[in-house]
Structure 1
């Protein structure tokens, strides 16, 4: 590989990493839900959920890398409906999480946190994949990349860009999941888990409402 080719690959890797971290690092409703989900289940569940988020970011990175400015007019008009759909999904999840936490507390089910698995790993993966695909911030971010002319030439270059973006997003989401697992180990009491669940539900609702106000 020549010096010029190596420089191009390095540039694509850096661009992909920046794109991945740019969309992943701001912790919004999806990141908050990921932490709360891991705290009340297990690190394995959280890891699958984190990879679901990263997969959605990878899909949008592929669109941004390959579409150029062609798909921009198609992406921008759907941001509004996706914003409202995202709000409904997030508020619904927050209310379900709070209701389950209250019911579990009333029933005094004091069990090991690692034994609580409200959903399976693949369900967590697919759920977070769908939630992130609906997340208007993700759509807006990658639509901005498209509008900015970030199309990548060549199949090889697109693959490098998308893989780098996926790796960046996955590393950050797994870090959030790890934080949720540590939080879950600390708050092992019934009251601690109830307080955490209610606080995270309220925060998710606030962040969701901010999407449309």
Structure 2
């Protein structure tokens, strides 16, 4: 259970820490509206991460049972997927930093807390990298066995809690934290930290006993 908790926390922070367009919008939304609206929007992002973690755990366990003979090679494929995501995230962050490009967003009047939650939930659900990340992590970490219901629940809950804590931190920081984390340097640092977490997860998966 402890292993599932730690894995879930690392997975949640690994996918949540990069401050991209969604994180930038979340901070600016909170600065323009209220903490309540920002927290609701943050929970929308975390809910999407939690749903993808749940889908990956449920589907991953079924696939692990059906494809048990192939899980050895599959684990290495998953390691490569995680490393590719880490490399892609780091390279993209460095390219944007060097190019001096920051995402800007203009739109209609700020939404209500409920609309903010639904909007950020929908936007995050459209990100295919999230489901690829969680599926690769779950499949590669199972080592030929299907996780129990308790382990699955702990993993998904921890992933949601990690994502929620980071998103709420972004929202609660408001404009001051936003300038630190959504500026060119802040976005570079958070992306590199997240890539490091993904790389560490891939390394742990690679050395785990079959």
Superposition TM-score tier, normalisation by shorter sequence: 0.5 to 0.7
Across the two proteins, how many residue pairs are aligned to each other? 175
Mapped partners of 2:46, 2:156: distance in 1: 11
Aligned partner of residue 58 in structure 1, secondary structure: helix
Mapped partners of 2:102, 2:15: distance in 1: 24
Structure 1 length as normaliser, TM-score? 0.57
Query: Which of the residues 54, 74, 81 maps onto 2:77?
Result: 81
Contact 2:41 2:120 in 1 (8 A): yes
Q: How does 1:1-213 map to 2 (within 5 A)?
A: 21-26=5-10, 29-33=14-18, 36-37=19-20, 39-42=23-26, 43=38, 46-63=42-59, 71-100=67-96, 102-104=100-102, 121-127=121-127, 129-136=130-137, 138-141=138-141, 143-144=142-143, 147=145, 150=147, 166-183=156-173, 185-189=175-179, 193-210=183-200, 211=202
Mapped partners of 2:177, 2:69: distance in 1: 47
Contact 2:8 2:155 in 1 (8 A): no
| Deviation of 1:103 (Å) | 1.7
| Deviation of 1:190 (Å) | 7.8
Unaligned runs of 5+ in 2: 27-37, 111-118
Contact 2:5 2:158 in 1 (8 A): yes
Mapped partners of 1:177, 1:97: distance in 2: 19
Contact 1:53 1:170 in 2 (8 A): yes
Unaligned runs of 5+ in 1: 1-14, 152-157
Q: CA RMSD in A?
A: 4.1
Contact 1:85 1:134 in 2 (8 A): no
Which of 1 and 2 has greater Rg?
Answer: 1
| Deviation of 1:209 (Å) | 4.3
| CA offset digits 1:86-135 (Å, max 9, x no partner) | 32233323333444452239xxx799xxx8xxx96423223253243354
Q: Which moved more, 1:166-175 or 1:186-195?
A: 186-195
Contact 2:44 2:120 in 1 (8 A): no
